[in-house]
A = this chain, B = another copy of it.
Amino acid sequence: MAQAAQESIADGEFGGEYDGDVGNEFDRDTSVTLREPGVYDAELSEGWAILSAVNGGYLLAIVARALRDALPHPDPFTVTAHYLTPSKPGPAVVRTEAVRSGRTLTTGQASLYQYEPDGTEVERVRVLAAYGALDSLSDDVRTSVKPPTLPPPERCLGTEDGPAALPGDSGFTQRVVVRLDPETAGWAVGSPSGKGEVRGWFSLADPREPDPLSLLLTVDAFPPTAFDLGLMGWTPTVELTTHIRSRPAPGPLRVFVTTRNLAGGYLEEDAEVWDSADRLVAQSRQLARAPREARVPEGR
């Protein structure tokens, strides 16, 4: 991690004007180093692991940062990730491909690999994305919905209000500040609402304003909605697609995650992220496997 942190990426032929703040935890831990055109070295930090697996949104931010450098357009507009094998803290390489570049959008693809002991590359995540320039978009907004109401952060519940941390669970929860609406946190004390909703406030523990890259982390940073359905356990993501719809205004983000359909052992999780200016800045949907252990609440 230290090696990667000390070298910020060289500006590429295109874009790459932003190389992060190496003093900030998120920027440091998502940094990528150009190895050769289109190929970037990265170091997956154990700080962003939940139990032994590296968080999927953190991985996505690393891949998106490599694509940002490799493609002629700077901002992820839509990013789809398929999670193939569990990622572990340690070295990784991101191989990017510019699929097609138009005037306003570039389609790109990338894969993140880690290494077997013999050096063989094992693919962890494959990403297909379209990049554009958020700052070139018009200011026309006709959102039909308003952000649902959320209690102020001081009336929401943080990690410190929950049961004792799980062994090995401390990394990720120390790096993000997630404060849950008490209505959607009952699962933590054995009383899930059964609605499949998780809502709350999000910011980074090492303070940094949100941007398109950190939004890719934000959409996958909340407890699984399965918990609120009474299903505690591992909820591995099969596929996660995120649309970044606007550059977020400074300040904390509000995140609303819902599941409408748990069926056949799979569920979708839809996340909406609203910024401090009440703009819907990101929408994501993932298909995940439901936890096997069922703890169905009363009344369902």
- Give chain A's interface residues, CB within 8 Å of chain B: 77-78, 80, 82, 84-85, 99-100, 105, 107, 109, 123, 126, 128, 130, 134, 137-145, 195-196, 229, 238-239, 241, 243, 245-246, 259-266, 268, 279-280, 283, 285, 287, 300
Tell me the complex Cα distance, A99–B109, Å: 13
Task: Name the residue on B nearest A272 (C-beta).
Answer: B260
Given contacts A241-B285, A285-B241, contact A142 B264 (CB under 8 A): no
Chain B contacts of A280 at CB under 8 A? Answer: 260-261, 263
- Smallest beta-carbon distance A270→chain B, Å: 9
Select one of B80, B84, B143, B260 contacting A80, CB under 8 A: B80
Q: Do B287 and A77 touch across chains, with their CB atoms under 8 A apart?
A: yes
Q: Do A99 and B84 touch across chains, with their CB atoms under 8 A apart?
A: yes
- Smallest beta-carbon distance A9→chain B, Å: 25
Q: Do A238 and B80 touch across chains, with their CB atoms under 8 A apart?
A: no
- Smallest beta-carbon distance A212→chain B, Å: 13
Chain B contacts of A261 at CB under 8 A? Answer: 141, 143-145, 245, 280, 283
Q: Do B265 and A137 touch across chains, with their CB atoms under 8 A apart?
A: yes
Q: Do B263 and A142 touch across chains, with their CB atoms under 8 A apart?
A: yes
Task: Name the residue on B nearest A258 (C-beta).
Answer: B144
Q: Which 7 A-B pairs have the closest CB atoms?
A: A137-B264, A80-B80, A142-B262, A141-B263, A78-B239, A84-B100, A128-B128
Chain B contacts of A105 at CB under 8 A? Answer: 238
Chain B contacts of A263 at CB under 8 A? Answer: 137, 140-143, 245-246, 279-280
- Smallest beta-carbon distance A185→chain B, Å: 18
Tell me the complex Cα distance, A168–B262, Å: 42
- Smallest beta-carbon distance A264→chain B, Å: 3
- Smallest beta-carbon distance A67→chain B, Å: 13
Q: Do B238 and A78 touch across chains, with their CB atoms under 8 A apart?
A: yes
Task: Name the residue on B nearest A283 (C-beta).
Answer: B268
The CB with the most chain B CB atoms within 10 A, among A139, A229, A246, A264, is that of: A264
> Can you give 13 contacting A-B residue pairs, CB < 8 Å?
A80-B241, A84-B107, A85-B100, A130-B238, A137-B264, A141-B264, A145-B260, A243-B268, A243-B287, A245-B266, A246-B263, A260-B283, A285-B285
